[in-house]
Each structure stands twice: as structure tokens, then as C-alpha cells.
Structure 1
Amino acid sequence: MIAQPFASPDDIRATFCTALSNMYKQEVPLYGDLIELVNDVNAEIKKIKPDLWEIGDRLNVERHGAIRLGTPAELSMISRLFRQMGMYPVGYYDLSTSGVPVHSTAFRPKTTSSLDKNPFRIFTSLLRLELIPDLQLRAEAAEILSQRDIFHPVVRELVSKAEDQGGLNAEDAQELVQHSLETFKWHDRALVSEDVYDQLKKTHPLLADIVGFKGPHINHLTPRTLDIDAVQRMMAERGIPPKKVIEGPPVRECPILLRQTSFQALTEPILFAGASPGETSQGLHRARFGEIESRGAALTREGHALYQSLMKQAGSFTPTDNNDIWQSKLSRTFSPFPDTWDSIRRANLAYFRYSLSSAFEGTIQSGCSLDQLIKEGKVTFTPIVYEDFLPASAAGIFQSNLGEHSKLTTEGLNAREEMELSLGRKIQDYFDLYEEIQRNSLREVQRLTGCRL
């Protein structure tokens, strides 16, 4: 009997991304409306600007999702699951600095080829119970979480099988995707009573969302748009209530990092466990929403520092601000940040991928500088897409969909090391990944031209 080849992790991830998106459309019809709006805007922009950098085939499948886990054990298992999909923890985000009692990482592909195949990412947050000041409630939440298993038994079985044999055949991979959806689906029946839910919510709405249910449920999926400002304006026209302002940097000729907006979280009916077996009571819960993102160039450490400095200068929007007022303020504040690709490149503020153009004759030009070859049109440079997230934007989206609550503070623990122990590996520094892509492209140009870098 001939052994079946293993399915590619990239293919498993692509299948999972499509299945998850289809499931979320059924659960949250407004998300389907959002996809239609984004597709309409993207189609118009591609007609107007057919030479936009980094569109490619991946735009139509561009997604990121977000989930919130309750325990280190859940994080450990989901890390093993995502590994079979070619997704690894990249970037560490401590949202507790914004009063949200979680810290996060993004599971995503790391190589250029995998990102081109399917760039799906899951922003994965883990509850930090040590930030809950009420010790009794903290213990009760820990006990509730210890009693649940968010993974289907088949998922555990297939992940172990893949780890033992080095992969899964196509049939097993399809079954893994199918049963993995169970972890992310919506459960309208709470694990807790209404009284316990209210205690959790009073402490922090996120605590109720994470602890109160059978599983983490995908709380949003995010398509990528080529014009987030147009989407923001058109959402209300199509009956999709938008977030007040777009998070992240202002609109620019040369987009950088990440801009995000969303429609407000839905108020959904849920059932609480009653005092007696089988008894229930009705309630409402706000958690799930639809988000849109617009991605720009990945910034270097120097570029990121400048970005953070300018955002700090801009401060925060006030209750009287609308999106137009806020974006105008941001644009004025960001005037020190260059807005042509060449000036950004010369200032070493963003990462670029270098390649030879058709104007290069194929002869070695030893001693010639890279800048000279660029000036002569023989070498081109393209911004590297930012594949990650902004801590402030992530926290802003969280807060805008949670309502009023008291902020919780950190206790100075080395939370990153604790998260890495649960993951069973170090969290990759995304700067290192971008630097490697740029460096490899420069080395190839140098090999082919003999130029000085």
C-alpha cells in the first residue's frame, strides 16, 4: 500500500480560513454584508489605481481573526493546532497597559511563500487572572475554566497523530479543519448563572466573555480593504453601524503599518444556567463584531519609534471628535514622517524587498552602489507588507466594543516568559522576520550585480 502524502500546512490553513469565514457569515449575517462592501470598494480602487503596490491574489482571501482564551493549557493546545496549519506565535502584545486583562500573540505564517499562499492570522489573547483584584472571583473563574474543554476530542487525536508522524494526509487534514471549527463557533448557552455572569461583567466585560461560555468563539473576522476611509463612510449607508474613528496612523500616500475599524459589537440573546438542572434564564451579551483592516509597509525599529512618538503627540480623540476631525489632526501631527517611498527608504524607516528590473543588462557592475542602480532604474524596491498588529489599535478595538468598566492594572510579572512556557517556544520578534526578508533580497541583488550595499 502506497502511503498518502502529507497535506501542506499552507493548504490546511487556507481551507480553515475559508471554512471559518463561511461559518461566521452564517452566525453573523452583518459580517457577510461587510465582506460585500469591502469587495465592492476594493474592485473600484483597483480600477482607479491598477498599479497599487502589493495587491496580488491574496487580497481576496486576506483575513485575520481574534479569539480570547482562558487558561495556559488552552493556549498550549491551540499552539499545537495552529502549528499544523503553518501558523506560529509572532509578536507579544501586553494589553493590560490599556486596562484590558489579557496579553496576546498573533499566530501567523512566517515565510514569504506561505504568506503569499494564504496570510491568515489569528490574534490570540490569554486571560491574566492575576490582574483580577477580587480574590474570591479570581478563584471562582479559575475553577469554571478548569472544568471546560474547548477542543473536540478528534482535534486532540489528530494533532497528536500529526506530531507523531510529521503531518496529516488530505482526509485527516479535512477532518481536523471540520472539528477545529467547534472551538470557534458561537455558543448561546452560558456556562454560568446570571449572578456569576453579572459579577464577572462588573469586574470587566472581557472576563465575562472569556469565562462565561463553553468556548472562546471567534469574536471577529477581518477582511483587508484598499481604502478603509471609503469603507468607514459607506458602512452607515449600508446599515452597518461603524466604530467612531479609524485606529492607527492617518491616511497617507505611502500607507504604513495597520489601520483598523469595525462595526459595533452585536447584542445577542443568551441562556444562563438556572439553579436547578435543566433550568435556564434569558439574558444578553455583547462580544462579536466585524472588523476591517488596511495594511501598509512594515516599519523598521526606527520607523516604529517615530510612529509611536507621533501617536503620543496626537494624544487621544475626544468625545466631540468624529473620524474626519481625528484624521485631520493625525495628518498634521504626522507631517514629520516622510511620505514618499524613496524618502522613507533613505531614512531607514520601513523595510523593502529589492529586485532587478528589466533595465539591468545582466553584466556585473562591481563597485557600483545600490543607490546608483536604483537611480538608473536597474534595481527596484517594494515595501514589505506589515503582517502584524498594533498594541494601541488592538486595545482600542477591544475597548470600543466592551462598554464602561474600571481599568485593571498589572502586577509587574514577567508575563511574556509565562506565555512562552505555555506556547512551548519563544515568541518570534517580527522585526527580525522583516529584516531577514529585506537582507535576503539585498544579498541576491548584490550577488547578481556586484554592487556595494
Structure 2
Amino acid sequence: MSVQAAANQDEWVHPDEIRAQFSRAMSAMYRAEVPLYGELLELVSQVNRQVLGEDRELAKQLELTGEIQRLDMERHGAIRLGSARELATMRRLFAVMGMSPVGYYDLSCAGVPVHSTAFRAIHEGSLQHSPFRVFTSLLRLELIENPGLRELAHSVLERRSIFTPRALALIERFEQAGGLDQTEAAEFVAQALETFRWHREAMVSAALYQQLSEQHRLIADVVAFKGPHINHLTPRTLDIDAVQAGMPRRGIDPKVIVEGPPARRCPILLRQTSFKALHEQVVFVEENGERALGSHSARFGEIEQRGAALTPKGRALYDRLLDNARQADGDYVSALTAQFADFPDDYDSLRRQGLAYFRYFASPAGLAAKACGELAGELEALLAAGHVCCEPLVYEDFLPVSAAGIFQSNLGDAARDSYAHSANQDAFERDLGAPVLDELALYAETQQCSLAQCAEQLGLAALLLD
């Protein structure tokens, strides 16, 4: 590296910080565009303060893992793209912010004609700095049954450009130089934000919008507008049921059920709910050039409660129990609760049975025992003696059935019930221009790294899971 290049590198803003700046700017923009979202943030903050005040053990756990420092940061947003070209460029844009595509999600089998990935940071330090991620869906035009309508949708999407010229130039600058300085980073955030902004004026006539909407309201949302407006942002709560109950008291209309697993002493994976999409005035452009007023609903506020990341064994059990509940007759919530009685609800069982991932820490007692030569032996003995402690790894990703449930509740009852199962990760990765990362491999790596660090601190050759 040349002296000049090294000097330039010293001036670069770290991608984690660019992501943090972008997350704050996105939140401010969305609160201004959807004031009800600000009310939701206040409710979540109130519930979190109450939970932390009443549950000191949980507060201690969050302090140990560092989660408490990022509790009040929005965890994710979501966008829907219309073409491979848009998806590939979006991957490059998120790379500037240190975000990689993690996981593949097929939502078509749950009635939503998209497949998706989550752009997020992948390293523990980066997640602590800013956990913001964007659930990014690509419309599957091949699932539009009407060939004529499919071609019309394709032609509309081909005409639009969702990125500003300056945003594209700054992406190229980042790729060529290896970074952005403070001025460039601030400009990049401002320019990138334009892609996610709401535009009242549609790109299509009212008649075409209606045709698209009748096929699927999500198709109309993707095709009819100038860009992939952010359709929701999501704060993290420590008690999603309290937020669900508190929304109506603040004049917020929630969806009927909380998506994901039922309430548990030891949360797993992800539970989500939302307030229903707002009806917003839009302007359609008619073929004669005239403007026609109409309405569109797509943007809402979501809340999430995150729990332990599950291993492949844990996910298999989760998927089986969820599928049983979805197929059961009668009340879904009751069936879900009954099914999940078979899922262990204490962290020790989750760990011993290999159902969840954990982060391991050398405790002060362990370090003292090392100094005295009184350290316990294998991992289980170290845990029993209090020489090593552990906490569950927080699930950083998504659940396709839950995502589809949120989408459907905000698209209206007229949305289709199902499409033929048509997952196609190869096609998605081809359009993306890169493979998606395996989220389970990332959790396994984090767990193993924590064990290796424990072993090093305690002067042991290795610590192995049973």
C-alpha cells in the first residue's frame, strides 16, 4: 500500500459507523413520514424500562452480553425490489455500510410472491455497534399468472431508476478506493436515503394499479411507485405481549396475533407484531397526462422480541411444532401453545440438548481458580463450578412464515392464500450477484469463538461441547 493510500485509509469512516448514521437518518425520516411510528417507539421504550426495572436477572444478562447498549436501536427495516438489476445494486449499496446478504427466505409458499434475504453485519463487534438490518425482498414476476400483466409490470420496472446518480458514484468510489471519508460518508447517507423515501406520485395509471392490485397487492406496491419506499421499521421490545396490549390504548390498531413462537420464560428465535398499514393518498398518472387521486396502503410499524438462536436440531423441532399448530383445527394461538409445550423452556435444557447456540464467558471465579491452580476440568464441570458462564446467542435473522404473516396482515384479506412451492435460491443468488451466507454457520462460528476465547483466558488447550 502506498503512503498516500495509507493516509487516505486513516480518513475513512468505518462501515459500521456509516450504517449507524444511516439507521439514525432512516429512523428520523420514517418518524416524520409516519408519525404513528413515533408513538410506537415511545410505547416500546416505556415497556422496556418497566421490564428492566422488574426483572433484574434479565437486566444482568443483557449487560453481560452487551445487548443493553443497543436495546433502543431500531433492529430492522424492510424493502421490496422489482428487478435483478435493483437487487444487485442494492447489495453494493449495503456493502458500503458493512452489510452482507444472510439467509434465503421463500415467501411464495405462504402467499407472498417474493423471495428475500437480510442484509446485516456478520461480526459480533459490528452488531454491537449497530444491529440495523434490512429485510430485502425481490418480486417474482414469473408468479404473475397473466402474461400481458406480467409484461406490463416488467416494462414499468425497466423504466425506473431507484438510485440517485450521486449515490451510484459514491458506491463506485467506495469500491475503487476502499472507503469513504467523513464528507463522502455523510453525502452517501443522504443520497442513499432518497432510495427509501416515500413518493406520493405513482408511475402508473389508476387502472393499471387496480390490475396489479387484483393480482396481489404487494405486486402493486412494488411496481406502481418510483422506488422501494421503506415499508416499516422495527424497534426491539423485551415484552411483545405488553406492547400488543398497549397499542390500542394509544390509538394504534395492531394486527390480530403475534407471529412466531408463543410466549415463553426463555424466548427463542423471533416474535413479531405490527400496527396495520396506513391508507395514504397517492396520485396516479393517467395515459392522457392527467392526475387522479387514489389511496394505497403499505407502510406500517413493526415490533420484535428476539430470543435465542436455535441450532439445526432446534430449528427442526421448531418447524415441526409450528407446522403441527398451523394444521390443527380450532384456535391457532391455543394450538400453538399446546404444541410448544414439547419445546424445553429453560436455558440449561436448551444448551444440554443442543437446541440453541450460546456464548461462553470465563468468569471472575474461573480466573481466580486458574491463578490458584484449582480450575475445574471439562466444560460441564467448569459450568457447574461457576468457572465458566454462558448466555444464549440472540437470533439476528428472520422467519419466513412470520414475515409472510406480517406482510399478509398489511396487504389485506384479499391477498392470495398460497402459491405453489417454488423456492429458487440459485436464481435469487444469480440476480443478487453473490451467494447468501448461512446464518446457522455464523452462530456456530460465534459460539466456537467464545469457547476458544474462554480456553485461552483459562489457560486450557480447548473447550469442547459434548
The alignment status of 1:436 with 2:445, answered yes or no, reads: yes
User: What is the aligned partner in structure 2 of residue 48 from structure 1?
Assistant: 54
Identity of aligned residues (%): 51
User: Which residue, out of 68, 72, 89, partners 2:80?
Assistant: 68
Determine whether 1:294 maps to 2:305: yes
User: Equivalent residues in 2 for 1:117-156 (5 A)?
Assistant: 117-156=129-168
Query: How big is the shift at 1:449?
Result: 4.5
Q: Partner letter of residue 302 of structure 1?
A: K
Over 3 Å counting, the alpha-carbon distance change for 1:262 and 1:411 in structure 2 is closer
Q: Deviations over 1:410-444 (max 9, x none)?
A: 485x7211221232221000000000001111122
TM-score (norm 1): 0.95
Q: Deviations over 1:198-253 (max 9, x none)?
A: 00000110110000000010000000000000000000011000000000001111
| Mapped contact 1:366–1:449 kept (Cα < 8 A) | no
Larger helix percent: 2
1:12 aligns with 2:21: no
What SS does structure 1 have at the residue aligned with 2:117?
A: strand
CA contact (8 A) 2:359 2:451 kept: yes
Match of 2:202, SS state, is: coil
Q: Distance in 1 between matches of 2:455 and 2:13?
A: 36
SS in 1 for 2:119: strand
Cα deviation 1:349-392 (Å, max 9, x = unaligned): 00001111111122567882110110011110110000000010
Task: Note if 1:405 corresponds to 2:415.
Answer: yes
Q: Superposition RMSD on alpha carbons, in Å?
A: 1.8
Give how far 1:327 is off. 4.3
SS of equivalent to 2:28: helix
Q: Deviations over 1:106-130 (max 9, x none)?
A: 0000000000001001000000101
**For the residues of structure 2 that align with 1:152 and 1:20, how far apart are their CA atoms?**
16
Q: Tell me by how many angstroms 1:276 deviates.
A: 2.0
Is 2:43 the partner of 1:34? no
Checking the alignment, whether the CA contact within 8 Å between 1:131 and 1:408 is kept in structure 2 is: no
1:8-57, Cα deviation, whole Å (9 max, x unpaired): 00000000000000000010001000000001111111111133133421
Task: Give the aligned residue type for 2:47.
Answer: V
Q: Distance in 1 between matches of 2:241 and 2:327?
A: 19
Unaligned runs of 5+ in 1: none
| Aligned-partner Cα distance in 2 for 1:268–1:343 | 48
Partner of 1:107: 119
User: What letter is aligned with 1:152?
Assistant: T
Is residue 176 of structure 1 aligned with residue 182 of structure 2?
no
Q: Tell me what 2:69 maps to.
A: 57
> In structure 1, what is the equivalent of residue 218 of structure 2?
206
**Separation in 2, partners of 1:63, 1:390:** 15
> How many residues get paired?
446
Aligned to 1:282: 293
How far the C-alpha of 1:407 sits from its partner, in A, is 4.4
Taking the aligned partners of 2:272 and 2:211, their CA distance within structure 1 comes to 31
Partner residue in 2 for 1:305: 316
Q: Deviations over 1:148-177 (max 9, x none)?
A: 000011100000011000010011000000
Q: Indicate if the aligned counterparts of 1:241 and 1:263 stay in contact, CA closer than 8 A.
A: yes
**SS of residue matched to 1:60:** coil
**Letter of the aligned partner of 1:40 in structure 2?**
Q
- Give the secondary structure class of the aligned counterpart of 2:71: helix
| Aligned partner of 1:359 among 365, 373, 376 | 365
Residue of structure 1 equivalent to 2:398: 389
For the pair 1:343 / 2:349, whether they are aligned, the reply is yes
| Contact 1:17-1:63 within 8 A present in 2 as well | no
SS at match of 2:238: coil
Asked if structure 2 preserves the Cα contact closer than 8 Å seen for 1:192 and 1:273, the reply is yes
Structure 2 Cα separation of the partners of residues 10 and 70 of structure 1? 27
TM-score for both structures, normalised by structure 2: 0.92
* CA displacement 1:82-141 (0-9 Å, x = unmatched): 000011100100001112110000000000000000100100000010111101110110
